[in-house]
């Protein structure tokens, strides 16, 4: 998509320049044709470029993929520091409150004909939050939520859900969440698959936390 978008922009520029040359020759009809075609081509290219920039921040989902690792350290009662080591990004730390942590992601799945052209489903992590197993605590205790969504360009997820009839190559937009216990010293691995997110233990502390989960 990116080369096609750049190509459209370059064609648009060339048509506009051609129109300027026709204006100097007082060929106004041809000038207007070149100008209008050039503007349409440039706007189309810029639109596709914005979409491509947004999609570039997603990950291709060919099979099960290790998305991130989560390291947990207890700070105080129901207060934890989570170190998120996301794929292809520097580690970042967050403070969460509760006794469980939850990770949300968004998925894009293409139509069958787009899949035949080699288009794999895409996914991106969206937010990390703390939660409480007890409903009353969930209603009244301190909450914490952090955005993992910092994507440039045109948000294909947002506009795709709102104007799905105008984006025929996407089959579905759906979210997936996973939540597991907050255990000090635990190290988890987050896996993305076609069915959504999964969590696996990476050390003994995590395995013990997940044993009766």
The 10s digit of each residue's pLDDT in 85-119 is 987 788 999 999 999 999 998 887 766 545 444 46
Q: Which two tokens stand for residue 36?
A: 């209008």
pLDDT reported for residue 134: 92
93 and 7, same domain (yes or no): no
The better pLDDT of the pair 166, 90 is held by 90
For the segment 122-130, the average pLDDT, to the nearest whole number, is 87
112 and 205, same domain (yes or no): yes
- Angle ∠(158,159,160) on CA atoms, nearest 5: 95
Which residues have CB under 8 Å from 26's CB, separation 6+? none
| β-strand partners of 84 | 70, 92
H or E stretch including 86?
strand 79-86
Q: Is 11 helix (H, G, I), strand (E, B) or coil?
A: helix
Model confidence over 54-93: pLDDT tens digits? 555 565 656 678 889 999 999 998 899 999 998 778 899 9
Phi and psi at residue 147, to the nearest 5°: -80, 135
The better pLDDT of the pair 176, 31 is held by 176
Residue 23 has pLDDT above 70, yes or no: no
Domain enclosing residue 174, as ranges:
60-211
Spatial separation of the C-alpha atoms in residues 9 and 207, rounded to whole Å: 53
- In the chain, how many domains are there? 2
Taking each helix axis from N to C terminus, what angle separates 2-24 and 28-55, rounded to the nearest 10 degrees?
160
Contact 198, 211 (CB under 8 A): no
The better pLDDT of the pair 146, 124 is held by 146
For the segment 25-36, the average pLDDT, to the nearest whole number, is 63
Spatial separation of the C-alpha atoms in residues 126 and 151, rounded to whole Å: 10
Which residue, of 35, 55, 75, is where some domain finishes?
A: 55
Residue 19: band (very low, low, confident or very high) from pLDDT cuts 50, 70, 90? low
pLDDT reported for residue 175: 78
140 and 48, same domain (yes or no): no
Which residue, of 39, 55, 71, is where some domain finishes?
A: 55
The better pLDDT of the pair 171, 132 is held by 132
Spatial separation of the C-alpha atoms in residues 130 and 101, rounded to whole Å: 5
Could you tell me how many residues make up the chain? 213
Q: Is 178 helix (H, G, I), strand (E, B) or coil?
A: strand
Percent of the chain with pLDDT over 70: 57
Task: Say how many C-beta atoms besides its own lie within 10 A of residue 52's C-beta.
Answer: 18
8 and 26, same domain (yes or no): yes
165 and 67, same domain (yes or no): yes
Spatial separation of the C-alpha atoms in residues 48 and 5, rounded to whole Å: 5
pLDDT reported for residue 17: 66
Spatial separation of the C-alpha atoms in residues 103 and 158, rounded to whole Å: 19
């Amino acid at each position: 998509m990116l080369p096609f978008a750049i190509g459209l922009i370059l064609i648009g520029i060339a048509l506009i320049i051609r129109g300027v040359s026709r204006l100097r020759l007082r060929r106004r009809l041809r000038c207007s044709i070149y100008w209008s075609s050039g503007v349409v081509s440039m706007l189309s290219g810029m639109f596709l470029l914005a979409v491509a920039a947004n999609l570039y921040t997603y990950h291709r989902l060919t099979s099960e993929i290790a998305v991130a690792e989560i390291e947990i350290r207890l700070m105080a009662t129901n207060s934890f520091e989570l170190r998120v080591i996301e794929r292809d990004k520097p580690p970042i730390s967050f403070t969460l409150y509760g006794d469980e942590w939850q990770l949300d992601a968004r998925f894009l799945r293409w139509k069958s004909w787009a899949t035949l052209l080699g288009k794999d489903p895409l996914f991106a992590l969206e937010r990390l939050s703390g939660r409480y197993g007890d409903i009353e605590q969930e209603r009244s205790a301190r909450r914490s939520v952090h955005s993992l969504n910092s994507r440039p360009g045109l948000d294909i997820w947002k506009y795709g859900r709102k104007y799905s009839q105008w984006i025929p190559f996407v089959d579905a937009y759906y979210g997936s969440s996973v939540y597991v216990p907050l255990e000090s010293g635990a190290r988890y691995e987050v896996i993305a698959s076609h069915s959504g997110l999964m969590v696996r233990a990476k050390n003994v502390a995590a395995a013990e936390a997940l044993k009766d989960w």
